[in-house]
Structure 1
Amino acid sequence: MPNIAGLTLMSAVRHPNTMATAKTTTSTHTITPKDLVEGFLRAANPEPLTIKSLLTVGETLGFSANAIRVAISRLCAKEQVISDSRSCYRLTDKTLAINSFTDRWRLGESRVRPWQAHWICCHLPQGMGRTERNQAQKALSWYGLKLGLSGLYIRPDNLNLSIQELNSQLIDVALTPNASLFRAYDFQEHQTQQWQRLWDIKAIETRYKSHYEKIAKSANNFFEKPIEQSLSESLILGGDTLRVLTLDPLLPAEMIDITLRKKLSDMMEEYEAQCRKLWTEVIARLEE
């Protein structure tokens, strides 16, 4: 099934000079031509889209043809989008590889298992270059690991993955193969208590509640709004919520109210089904 539009971690980058303002049910946010192009190509995947279709939907949301063309050109230059001889565009394998990471949220609570008070640890080797270290730290953060001791990143060992599976997935999102990933326990109690405070539990639970309320409100009358408003909301609210779910640290019940996480995930599935229906209809009309 295709993702709803704009649901990619890369779309967090904003281009202030080419923004369009979209009023949602809760507040005023912005989407960019880049968000729009990525979102439509993702929704259409594996089929390509013509430049005409991308320009038309861009115009629907208030973007100039030039802004859409510039966005496409930049995405092509970054090897995130590729064109063929028919002036059609699709996402590259490089971009689609991120989908396997962002799609993890669909697995819900099957991604975790009961916590036995053990920890997953990752030690980064000394002598790493700045770029390599930054990429490794980002990869670890995407899987909920925090810096616990000098050079040692940790998280509760409640992911439903073997160390080999987790290591492979981390390397796929740019962790250096020279990192050492392992399970450990028997840490001193004061140390593990300190580690549990590394995550802002109140902020995470507040995000669960806030995003649930926003998409529930949007879904309530999704097909009764003007199409440009529903398209904008699917980009903005859907994208923001997916980032919350995708980057969620998946903490265990001993640390956080997991019912809030499940409630948000279930609501997002319903909302995505509505968004997918709308985007599929729009794409079908554009490609006629």
Structure 2
Amino acid sequence: MAFLPCNACVELTAKKIILGLLLVSDGRALTVRSLIDACALFGIKENNVRVTLTRLSADGLIEASSRGAYALGPPVLSLADQVATWQTMEQQLGPWHGGFVAVYTGTLTRSNRKALRQRERALEMCGLRELDPDLYVRPDNFQGGAEFIRQRLRALGMEAEAAVFAASDFDGERRERVAKLWDGRSLDAHYRKDQQRLEDWLGRYQMLEQEVAAREVYIMGAQAVRSLVFDPWLPAPMIDEAARHAYLETVKRFDDTGKALWDRRFQIRIGMPYMTEEQPTSGVLQ
């Protein structure tokens, strides 16, 4: 359940839950009633949900697809596609020969706050770190090299004018600083610790009440998926690739379990997302 807008470290809001559910709906619409029921699991009232839907629609983040149902708006669709790549990003990796991909943003405007936020998010989601003012780098370990990073940055909303290129042969001082831009030990510890946490939950969730399990899988899944969406996908020896792979596989199983739990919890309303509020519910969740 790839709920990017939900960061488990911050307060859940109607906006985060609505966008999170729509992000994993495979482009389908969800009914207002199903979104109200989902938010109710976290103590969010119906009026709050309806006001949030109105605001999100006015901002173009969602749009009505039929009476009583909403889907993601065009500005969010490209981001949704990129968020979904967490499951396949490992397949895009190639051998690392010690080079880097660099991005220079010094020629880009800083007065447009929206563009600046999108740029910062894109750089972070691509694992780029600032080496010098306006110069960002990451290991060149994707099969497509600089072109892969260039295309992904643009898909994430970064300006096409940014210079993206292969880089190598840093001087001694910069070489030392490059090596410290990422904390591989912390990443390895996170992979192992969070994998164990998810595995423990998968081993006991069937003993939980349905609504408790639905809440927990949402929050824990959000945190796990978000960590992979923003993972720098470093090469060995910077990180333990086996530990990352094991963590990825566990998160995939956790994600599948979460989707199944939510489908069972909401049955027709989530399982048939095109159904409008006016259609019969056959007594489900009444």
- With structure 1 as the length reference, what TM-score do the two structures score? 0.84
Asked if 1:239 corresponds to 2:256, the answer is no
- Which residue in the other structure is 1:11 paired with? 6
Residue 275 (structure 1) aligned to one of 255, 258, 261 = 258
**Which shows bigger deviation, 174-183 or 39-48?**
39-48
The alpha carbon displacement at 1:266 in A equals 0.5
Amino acid across the alignment from 1:240:
Q
Amino acid across the alignment from 2:47:
N
Distance 2:136 2:41 in 1: 46
The alpha carbon displacement at 1:190 in A equals 4.0
The alpha carbon displacement at 1:157 in A equals 0.8
The alpha carbon displacement at 1:189 in A equals 4.0
The alpha carbon displacement at 1:41 in A equals 3.1
Distance 1:31 1:134 in 2: 21
Asked if 1:182 corresponds to 2:177, the answer is no
Contact 1:115/1:252, CA 8 A, preserved across alignment: yes
Asked if 1:77 corresponds to 2:67, the answer is no
**Which shows bigger deviation, 100-109 or 246-255?**
100-109
Contact 1:41/1:91, CA 8 A, preserved across alignment: yes
Amino acid across the alignment from 2:185:
K
- Which residue in the other structure is 2:181 paired with? 198
Matches within 5 A, 1:34-73: 34-73=15-54
- Which residue in the other structure is 2:245 paired with? 262
- Which residue in the other structure is 2:196 paired with? 213
Contact 1:83/1:89, CA 8 A, preserved across alignment: yes
Contact 2:23/2:80, CA 8 A, preserved across alignment: no
Distance 1:282 1:202 in 2: 39
Name the SS for the 1:31 alignment partner: coil
- Which residue in the other structure is 2:207 paired with? 224
Name the SS for the 1:90 alignment partner: strand
| 5+ residue gaps, structure 1 | 15-28
Distance 1:114 1:120 in 2: 14
Identity across the alignment (%): 23
Deviations along 1:239-274, one digit per CA (max 9) or x if unpaired, are 101111110111110211122211110101111111
Change in CA separation of 1:140 and 1:61 when aligned onto 2, cut-off 3 Å: closer
Distance 1:66 1:60 in 2: 14
What number of residue pairs does the alignment pair up?
269
Distance 2:116 2:34 in 1: 40
Change in CA separation of 1:158 and 1:44 when aligned onto 2, cut-off 3 Å: closer
Name the SS for the 1:254 alignment partner: coil
Contact 1:45/1:90, CA 8 A, preserved across alignment: no
Distance 1:113 1:166 in 2: 13
| 5+ residue gaps, structure 2 | 273-280, 282-286
**Which shows bigger deviation, 189-198 or 29-38?**
29-38
Residue 33 (structure 1) aligned to one of 10, 14, 18 = 14
Deviations along 1:132-188, one digit per CA (max 9) or x if unpaired, are 445323321211111112332111111222423321210121222111111122223
Name the SS for the 1:129 alignment partner: coil
The alpha carbon displacement at 1:118 in A equals 0.7
**Which shows bigger deviation, 73-82 or 151-160?**
73-82
